[in-house]
């Protein structure tokens, strides 16, 4: 078993409020984090906000406030949203934090000293959406940036450049030798193709063009360009120091197990970041996982289309008491690196089917039968080894294997598949008929087997739905913080388990009228 585990999200630009695309990634990462907390003792999750660059400078100017004021306000919106979604991160980093700025300056100086950063007069096409120079090969047929649909600006400047080309062969070799380095695996070829055409990259901008950035220590006429600043957060957040005097967290948690990012920024992570780490002589992360993108009603989310949805809006419109339903939907909406879609109707149908009708209902009716036939008591003779125990053990293994590859949607399907099996088992064995026929021991065994299985289901579903799982644990009287290694075949002990007034539905169906009223 791994001793320590470190997972990161991308850090979001703060020139707007968080939308459900950002939320998707933070939920995705939090589910992985919570799952691994059940397998590994020491786990750390880093998230945060990316606050420098020309876009922030321009937005702040237009709003008549300072860039820092804009960043403070918007960074808080992200924190509030993650709070609402029960994202259990260990640390929130802001690239305007002093410790981060200092280490980024030190990193830059170290690379300058090493000769991996050099000064160069350059004319290039700059996309302020990507905050990057694009090469003509990157543009679409109309000469626009393919991600932002806008013509890049021609910029001529003397900038510092990073010798990316020096590391090309080493990166190719690393990707080819480490199958799990880029996940899902189908993305690795894409990166290998991009590597064919790489050039050295600009890593600073003249202060006369961009003021809002970290100054180059030895040349204050230049600011460090956003990607070196942003990518370094993964190590500055742990207390990395160029002189080797690292904080405990860096010693304990680096290298990262997973960098979770969107497919649009895979190149920056699997090429630029890796080259920077190689140049610094820092160990490489174990895996970079690129997730797909979320569309709204099959359309790309954009301010101009006016279809941007905030996670808070979904919570309010469906009057959700906690974020579990949204977390569960998001986790299953985009399967293993593919794109996914959010619509009110799909959301409601999915969570009603899986969480209310399937899982919640099974627990509720089984507990009610236990109260009706046995006054809520588990008798010793109900407990025996049974086929559901073996099935649960197999599914647990499968879920763990899927999490090792960050495939949380397929893992959720496995867990719900186990609930399906349990529902089928109840329907096939019909404990209500057994009771009617006076076969009380058989009836009690069936109820025990199902409730005992629900303990395991709750532990497996907890990363997705922590509140629902807690409610299941309250009714089944076990500790939801158990580790997966503590799961035994028979988890429920003999004795009184529950009384009628303690039984509560763990998830209420979302009312169909919400979606109908919306449009």
Q: Which residues are the active-site residues?
A: 19, 22, 127, 130, 145, 148, 300, 303
Least CB distance to ligand ME8 at residue 261 (A):
4
Q: Is-contact 291 337, C-beta < 8 A?
A: yes
To which H or E segment does residue 223 belong? strand 219-224
Residue 11 as a binder of ligand ME8 (CB under 6 A): the answer is yes
* DSSP 8-state symbol, 500: G
Distance CA 191, CA 288 (A): 12
Least CB distance to ligand ME8 at residue 277 (A):
13
Least CB distance to ligand ME8 at residue 338 (A):
11
Residue 213 as a binder of ligand ME8 (CB under 6 A): the answer is no
Q: Which stretch binds ligand ME8 (CB under 6 A): 9-17, 238-246, 316-324, 353-361?
A: 9-17
Q: Closest residue (Cβ) to ligand ME8?
A: 262
Beta-strand pair 42-50/91-94:
parallel
Nearer to ligand ME8, 104 or 261 (CB): 261
Q: Provide the 3-class DSSP secondary structure of residue 120.
A: strand
Residues 39-58, interacting with ligand ME8 (CB under 6 A): 50
Nearer to ligand ME8, 74 or 452 (CB): 74
Least CB distance to ligand ME8 at residue 334 (A):
7
Distance CA 339, CA 328 (A): 16
Residues 216-275, interacting with ligand ME8 (CB under 6 A): 230-231, 233, 261-262, 264-265
Q: Which of 416, 53, 99 is nearest to 237 (CA)?
A: 99
Distance CA 483, CA 512 (A): 37
Handedness of CA 143, 139, 158, 57 (dihedral sign): positive
Residue 92 as a binder of ligand ME8 (CB under 6 A): the answer is no
Binding mask 297-336 for ligand ME8 (x = CB under 6 A): ----x-----------------------------------
- The residue length of the chain stands at 519
Binding mask 12-31 for ligand ME8 (x = CB under 6 A): xx-------xx-xx------
Least CB distance to ligand ME8 at residue 453 (A):
34
Q: Is-contact 110 244, C-beta < 8 A?
A: no
User: Which residues lie across from 47 on neighbouring strands?
Assistant: 92
Q: Which of 508, 510, 506, 408 is nearest to 458 (CA)?
A: 506
Give Cβ neighbours of residue 338 (< 8 Å, ≥ 6 apart).
292
Which residues contribute to the site for ligand ME8 (CB under 6 A)? 10-13, 21-22, 24-25, 50, 230-231, 233, 261-262, 264-265, 293-294, 301
């Amino acid at each position: 078993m791994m001793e320590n585990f470190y997972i990161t999200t991308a850090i979001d630009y703060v020139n707007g409020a968080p939308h459900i695309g950002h939320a998707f990634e933070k939920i995705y990462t939090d589910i992985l984090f919570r799952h691994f907390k059940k397998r590994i003792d020491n786990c750390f999750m880093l998230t945060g906000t990316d606050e420098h660059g020309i876009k922030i400078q321009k937005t702040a100017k237009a709003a008549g406030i300072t860039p820092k004021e804009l960043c403070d306000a918007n960074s808080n919106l992200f924190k509030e949203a993650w709070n609402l979604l029960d994202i259990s991160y260990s640390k929130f980093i802001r690239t305007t934090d002093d410790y981060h700025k200092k280490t980024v300056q030190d990193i830059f100086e170290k690379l300058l000293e090493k000769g991996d950063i050099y000064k160069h007069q350059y004319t290039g096409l700059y996309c302020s959406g990507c905050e990057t120079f694009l090469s003509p090969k990157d543009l679409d047929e109309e000469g626009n940036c393919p991600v932002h649909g806008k013509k890049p600006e021609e910029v001529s400047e003397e900038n510092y450049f990073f010798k990316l080309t020096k590391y090309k062969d080493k990166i190719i070799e690393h990707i080819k030798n480490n199958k799990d380095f880029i996940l899902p695996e189908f993305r690795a070829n894409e990166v290998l193709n991009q590597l064919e055409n790489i050039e050295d990259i600009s890593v600073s901008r003249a202060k006369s063009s961009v003021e809002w950035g970290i100054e180059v220590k030895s040349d204050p006429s230049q600011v460090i360009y956003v990607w070196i600043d942003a990518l370094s957060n993964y190590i500055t957040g742990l207390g990395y120091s160029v002189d080797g005097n690292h904080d405990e967290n860096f010693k304990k948690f680096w290298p990262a197990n997973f960098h979770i990012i969107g497919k649009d920024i895979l190149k920056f992570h699997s090429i630029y970041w890796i080259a920077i780490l190689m140049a610094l002589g820092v160990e490489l992360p174990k895996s970079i996982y690129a997730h797909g993108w979320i569309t709204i009603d099959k359309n790309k989310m954009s301010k101009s289309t006016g279809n941007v949805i905030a996670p808070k809006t979904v919570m309010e419109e469906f009057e959700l008491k906690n974020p579990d339903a949204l977390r569960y939907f998001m986790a299953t909406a985009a399967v293993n690196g593919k794109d996914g879609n959010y619509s009110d109707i799909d959301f409601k149908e999915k969570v009603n089917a899986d969480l209310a009708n399937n899982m919640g209902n099974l627990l509720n009716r089984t507990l009610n039968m236990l109260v009706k036939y046995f006054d809520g008591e588990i008798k010793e003779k109900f407990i025996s080894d049974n086929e559901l125990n073996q099935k649960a053990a197999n599914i647990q293994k499968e879920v763990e294997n899927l999490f090792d590859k960050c495939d949380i949607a397929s893992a959720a399907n496995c867990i719900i598949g186990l609930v399906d099996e349990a529902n089928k088992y109840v329907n096939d064995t019909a404990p209500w008929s057994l009771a009617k026929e006076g076969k009380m021991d058989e009836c009690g065994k069936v109820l025990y087997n199902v409730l005992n299985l629900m303990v395991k289901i709750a532990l497996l579903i907890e990363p997705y739905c922590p509140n629902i799982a807690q409610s299941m644990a309250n009714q089944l009287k076990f500790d939801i913080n158990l580790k997966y290694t503590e799961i035994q075949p028979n988890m429920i002990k003999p004795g009184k388990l529950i009384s009628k007034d303690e039984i509560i539905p763990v998830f209420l169906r979302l009312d169909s009228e919400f979606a109908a009223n919306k449009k």
